């Protein structure tokens, strides 16, 4: 299994619009071969002293895939190409952590 933590930084004030586009695509992603989980999340205040500063313009996407090959196929899927086109003016940058169970 491969897990992915994607950190998506969006332009200020566009997070809700971005989430709408992302959530509309989730059923397509979940239907892909090898997709185990595809869950968007946003920072929430916890009161825990070691929590990092809240990021109002960030969406964290938590993914799980059966294999690295499934993840790579996902990135080329037609609905992902369409999604990237829709969000190109909203997203500032993306960073990925691709992980395997230790």
Q: CATH number, domain at 54?
A: 3.30.70.100
Per-residue model confidence (pLDDT) at position 58: 98
How many domains does one find in the chain?
Answer: 1
**Alpha-carbon torsion (23, 24, 29, 32), positive or negative:** positive
Per-residue model confidence (pLDDT) at position 37: 98
Per-residue model confidence (pLDDT) at position 79: 98
Beta bridge partners of 62: 5, 39
> What is the spatial order of strands in the sheet that 91-99 belongs to?
35-41, 58-65, 2-10, 91-99
**Residue 49, domain extent:** 2-99
pLDDT, tens digit (0-9, with 9 covering 90-100), for 13-67: 999 999 999 999 999 999 999 999 999 999 999 999 999 999 999 999 999 999 9
CA 2 – CA 57 distance, rounded (Å): 26
Confidence of residue 84 (pLDDT cuts 50, 70, 90): very high
Average pLDDT of the residues in 72-95: 98
């Amino acid at each position: 299994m491969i897990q992915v933590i994607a950190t998506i930084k969006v332009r200020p004030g566009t997070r809700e619009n971005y989430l709408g586009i992302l959530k509309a695509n989730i059923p397509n992603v979940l239907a892909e071969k090898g997709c185990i989980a595809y869950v968007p999340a946003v920072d929430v205040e916890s009161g825990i002293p070691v929590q990092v500063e809240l990021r109002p313009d960030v969406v964290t996407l938590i993914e799980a895939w059966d294999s690295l090959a499934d993840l790579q196929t996902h990135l080329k899927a037609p609905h992902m190409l369409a999604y990237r086109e829709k969000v190109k003016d909203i997203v500032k940058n993306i960073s990925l952590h691709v992980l395997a169970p230790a």
